[in-house]
Amino acid sequence: MEKHVLDNQIKSLPKNPGVYIFKDKNGVVLYIGKAVNLKARVNSYLKPDPLRPQIDLMMNQAVKVDYVLVNSDLEALIAETNLIKKFKPKYNIRMRDDKNYLFIKITKEDFARIILSRKVLNDKATYFGPYTNSLDVRNTLNLLQKLYPFRTCKESPLKKRLKPCLMYHIKRCSGPCIDQIVKEDYKQVILKVKSFLEGKGVGALVGEFKAEMKKAAENQDFERASLYRDRYFAIEKMLEKQFVVSTKIIDLDVLGYAKENNLVGIAILKIRDGKLAGKEHFNMEIPSAGENDEDILSAFISQYYEDTSFYPKEILLPFSLQKGKELIEELLFKLSKKKINIKEPKIGRQKEIIKLANLNAKEYLSKELETFTYKSAKAEKSLKELSSILGVENIFRIECFDISNIQGTSAVGSMVVFEGGEPKKDEYRKFKIKKAQTPNDYLMMEEVLRRRLMALTLGHEKFIKTPDLILVDGGKGQLSVLKKVADELNLNINMVGLAKKHEDLYIYDLEDNFLKVTLPKNSQAMFLLQNIRDEAHRFAVSYHRLVRSKKVVRSVLDEIPGIGPKTKKALLDHFGSLDNIRKANSEDMEKIIGKDKAKILMENL
């Protein structure tokens, strides 16, 4: 019946350009694609494709196809790229672990902050990256603070202070909060930072700092001379690590490519002013080893450059893009507002640089494969053993629940998700206990499980996936709570309890009787369940501490006369914690809650 509905949906698709989205019975996105003619393209999926067996697997699960109409091929590519990043479909080619990539963010304000970020937000800030080596990024920021002291405090917008912070005293901040630098001069500092991150004119800094050092020494301003001496040596040290790859003053990104099995490694060599200024490595997830190399590289280019803020003059590729090259160049023009040439050099120095990039990609991939293969084999063995023990086929998604409280106060629950033996952190969920505010873990667990499973039955967007197994932290009692809730909601879900004391498993047999299962100490299935249980506990405790700390702050403030709910909220929003409120000076306090209330607060704290 569902396949019949899908066939009818496909036959009724329009012939316009657009993006199509295949979904399974739970509404989970399986695959996203673009097409000049939606009807013709999607209709081709009804025919078996021996070259792409993963498509047949996807179609066996698909029960619905949605679509978004666009005006052009370029709009379709942009929409496809953004949707793939948002939904991370199982059967699409996509960059792996993008949440672990780092960006250097320059905020959009009069006295800009320069901070690290793991997300690119639509907040008008300037982002540099993505970077894959966190140590290199932090070293870069450390160097930049030595060269161009900028503020790192969290205040936004910046507030004036009477006394400078430690960063000013150690010459890592130019002191805009105490009027030691005017707005226009600070903007010049930020412009220099941007230029540095773009790789422009770094070599010229050596001459600049050397001249300033000499000038300060002649004027017997030895403190200033030592400052520029340190900056000079820092730049010299960095330039020692660079080597010339071109006599032309040109900015290039050189892409290296390596593929083995279902994993692709891509290296980007960043050539700035003719020198190798840095390199980054990325993984690409591919549904099957038979995926086309050109499609994989095109997917990477569109996904990587959609997030970056610096665009080189040219991009060198390890092989030509026979199809889609013009569309990729059109996308790059739209993103960068300038013409970017894509080349596939066949001879000469640029071909040698491509070989170097490919070598980097191959070396990176070999290391990733060791980790990837080991993790995959370990996870596969764990899940296979667990399936055998529980008599459940194809365990893939496991959800685990835990409760954290102190005598029933500040009670919270956690839900962690593992898929294929790996944590799925973007699907973790927190629950603040609303009803069961007594020291009764069973009632609290019942509330959390009921809310989660009720959301499943109602098709709630954040709880739409059905778990293959639910694990509860506890023995017979907690497992019986789960069974009660599942039965009341008429849900047939595999479940298991893991008791801490002897690490025994509790399950239900076919007659709904408790059955204790003792696993050997070296059991991979037990290691997996313990790992999931411990992660649920960690997640619950961290959330409980956050809730409890806010409650403690409020309770302390409640005892102070004249401090009402609005004042408490203003203090918490600005300072974040009781310690920060206590450390604040009277001037900062007055700006937030006024002179009279600040005086009362300072006297009572």
pLDDT of 19-66, one tens digit each? 999 998 878 899 999 999 999 999 988 887 666 777 888 888 898 999
Query: What are the domain boundaries of the chain?
Result: 2-92, 100-200, 252-367, 397-547, 559-604
> At 468, is the pLDDT very low, low, confident or very high (cuts 50, 70, 90)?
very high
- Determine the Cα–Cα distance for residues 298 and 327; give it in Å rounded to an integer: 10
Q: What is the SS3 assignment for 417?
A: strand
- Determine the Cα–Cα distance for residues 272 and 252; give it in Å rounded to an integer: 7
Q: What angle do CA 214, 217, 222 make, to 5 degrees?
A: 130
Q: For residue range 201-229, list pLDDT tens digits in order.
A: 565 666 677 777 788 787 877 777 777 77
Average confidence (pLDDT) over 542-561: 65
Topology annotation, domain 559-604: DNA polymerase; domain 1 (1.10.150)
Average confidence (pLDDT) over 282-298: 85
Q: For residue range 101-154, list pLDDT tens digits in order.
A: 788 888 888 899 888 888 778 788 888 877 777 777 787 787 788 778 888 887
Least-confidence region, from 318-332, 342-356, 404-418, 468-482: 404-418
Beta bridge partners of 66: 21
Q: What is the SS3 assignment for 248?
A: coil
- Determine the Cα–Cα distance for residues 344 and 326; give it in Å rounded to an integer: 14
Topology annotation, domain 2-92: GIY-YIG endonuclease (3.40.1440)
The backbone torsions φ and ψ at residue 338, rounded to the nearest 5 degrees and listed phi first, read -155, 160
> At 358, is the pLDDT very low, low, confident or very high (cuts 50, 70, 90)?
very high
- Determine the Cα–Cα distance for residues 404 and 539; give it in Å rounded to an integer: 9
Placement of tokens 């966190």 in the chain: 134
Angle between helices 73-87 and 325-336 (to 10 degrees): 80
- Residue range 397-547 in CATH 3.90.209.20: no
Task: Calculate what percentage of the chain has a pLDDT beyond 90.
Answer: 23
Classify strands 102-106 and 514-517 as parallel, antiparallel or unpaired: unpaired
Task: Write the CB contacts of 6 (distance below 8 Å, at least 6 apart in sequence).
Answer: 62, 63, 64, 65
Q: What is the pLDDT of residue 50?
A: 64
Cβ atoms 210, 230 nearer than 8 A:
no
Give me the amino acid identity at 146: K
Rg (CA), the chain: 29
Q: What is the DSSP string of 37-104?
A: SHHHHHHGGGS--TT-HHHHHHHHH--EEEEEE-SSHHHHHHHHHHHHHHH--TTS-EES-GGG-EEE
Q: Is the pLDDT of residue 183 over 80?
A: yes
> At 579, is the pLDDT very low, low, confident or very high (cuts 50, 70, 90)?
low
For residue 228, the Cα-to-chain-centroid distance in whole angstroms is 38
Cβ atoms 173, 180 nearer than 8 A:
no
Beta bridge partners of 587: none
- Determine the Cα–Cα distance for residues 184 and 190; give it in Å rounded to an integer: 10
- Determine the Cα–Cα distance for residues 404 and 37; give it in Å rounded to an integer: 53
Q: What is the pLDDT of residue 450?
A: 92
> At 235, is the pLDDT very low, low, confident or very high (cuts 50, 70, 90)?
low
Average confidence (pLDDT) over 63-87: 90
- Closest alpha carbon to 399 in 456, 333, 448, 466: 466
Task: Write the CB contacts of 98 (distance below 8 Å, at least 6 apart in sequence).
Answer: 85, 130
Mean pLDDT of the chain: 82
Cβ atoms 309, 127 nearer than 8 A:
yes
- Closest alpha carbon to 139 in 21, 234, 59, 204: 234
The pTM (predicted TM-score) of the whole model is: 0.62
> At 488, is the pLDDT very low, low, confident or very high (cuts 50, 70, 90)?
very high
Q: Is the pLDDT of residue 407 over 50?
A: yes
Cβ atoms 401, 373 nearer than 8 A:
no
Q: What is the SS3 assignment for 403?
A: strand
Cβ atoms 413, 447 nearer than 8 A:
yes
Least-confidence region, from 61-75, 283-297, 301-315, 582-596: 582-596
- Determine the Cα–Cα distance for residues 518 and 538; give it in Å rounded to an integer: 24
CATH of 252-367, one of 3.10.580.10, 3.30.420.10, 3.40.640.10, 3.30.420.40: 3.30.420.10
Cβ atoms 467, 399 nearer than 8 A:
yes
Q: Omega before 149 cis (within 30°)?
A: no
Q: Does 551 or 226 have the greater pLDDT score? A: 226
- Determine the Cα–Cα distance for residues 95 and 73; give it in Å rounded to an integer: 22
Average confidence (pLDDT) over 159-163: 81
- Tell me if domain 252-367 and domain 397-547 are identical in fold: yes
Cβ neighbours of 122 (radius 10 Å): 5
Average confidence (pLDDT) over 188-213: 74
Q: Is the pLDDT of residue 547 over 90?
A: no
Q: For residue range 430-446, list pLDDT tens digits in order.
A: 888 887 666 778 888 99
Q: What is the pLDDT of residue 1?
A: 46
